[in-house]
Amino acid sequence: MIFLYRIAICEDESFQMKQIMTQVERYGKAKNISLNIKAFDCAELFLNHFNEAYDLVFLDIHLPGIDGIQLAKKIREQSHRTKIVFLTAHENFWPEGYKVLASRFLIKPITDESLYLEIEEVMDQLIEQTPFVLASQDKRVAKVAVEDIFYLEIAGRKVNLYTKDEVYVSSKSLAQFKKELEHHHFAQTHSSYLVNLKHVKLVGKDSVTLTNGQEVYISLRKYKQFKEKFMEYVSSL
């Protein structure tokens, strides 16, 4: 079974970026892990494409404009799940790194052995700390973090799982997902929809507006119960 992990690399030196990408790709092939890797040469470009679903981000500390420490702070404002590994030629940035909950530091030049060790430890942390469900995408089995799911929808004999930027498919029934996710603040708006209350922005009479602007239909039958569950969730924060 192949799992899909999302990795971003933010490094302004072209040679270093290509080297790290090659090393990460080799690791994925060696471990039979499917990796979705994105590379950026500056913080601004990274932020324009930042996806909360990234499992791991490699950050060069010395970036032009917004440096790696500042970028890590911005990542933490949006996601506490994403693991951060700093790339640096100096150890004197370690105290600042720990303030933004950096998982690790890699000292340049980066060897295959040191990179593989860091990825291995981060993957172990992700497995232990992040609740997930299994679904498929492009004929690959992916681990989808529960907190990244905006809503689920019955689609024929399958169920679609919608995250911020991706759609996954599962052969499980919506009833099975409802039971599996009952302790993760999900509620039904309709017999065909299961919504993550974390991503709800507004509950209307005919639809629920999510934090990404998308709307999900809510039936009259489910309206009262869903609104009560949403209010309970908000009160618990």
Query: For the chain, what is the HEC assignment?
Result: CCCEEEEEEECCCHHHHHHHHHHHHHHHHHHCCEEEEEEECCHHHHHHCCCCCCCEEEEECCCCCCCHHHHHHHHHHHCCCCEEEEEECCCCCHHHHHHCCCCEEEECCCCHHHHHHHHHHHHHHHHHHCCEEEEEECCEEEEEEHHHCCEEEEECCEEEEECCCCEEEECCCHHHHHHHCCCCCEEEEECCEEEEHHHEEEECCCEEEECCCCEEECCHHHHHHHHHHHHHHHHHC
Structure tokens at 19: 């080297």
The correct CATH number of 132-236 out of 3.40.50.300, 2.40.50.100, 3.90.25.10, 2.40.50.1020 is 2.40.50.1020
Structure confidence at residue 176 (pLDDT): 96
Q: For residues 164 and 214, is the Cβ–Cβ distance under 8 A?
A: no
Given CA atoms 53, 58, 63, 66 in this order, what sign does their dihedral have?
positive
Q: List C-alpha distances in Å: 208 to 5, 46, 160, 174, 200.
A: 30, 30, 18, 18, 7
* Weakly modelled stretches of the chain, pLDDT under 50: 1-2, 94-95, 97-100
Helices then strands, each counted (H, E), the chain: 7, 15
Kindly report, as residue ranges, where domains of CATH 3.40.50.2300 are found in the chain: 4-129
117 sits in which H/E element: helix 112-129
Structure confidence at residue 35 (pLDDT): 85
Counting every residue written for the chain, the total comes to 237
Q: What pTM was computed for the model?
A: 0.58
Structure confidence at residue 216 (pLDDT): 98
175 sits in which H/E element: helix 174-180
The correct CATH number of 4-129 out of 3.40.50.2300, 3.90.1490.10, 3.30.1490.20, 3.30.870.10 is 3.40.50.2300
Kindly report, as residue ranges, where domains of CATH 2.40.50.1020 are found in the chain: 132-236
- Residues facing residue 37 across a β-bridge: 7
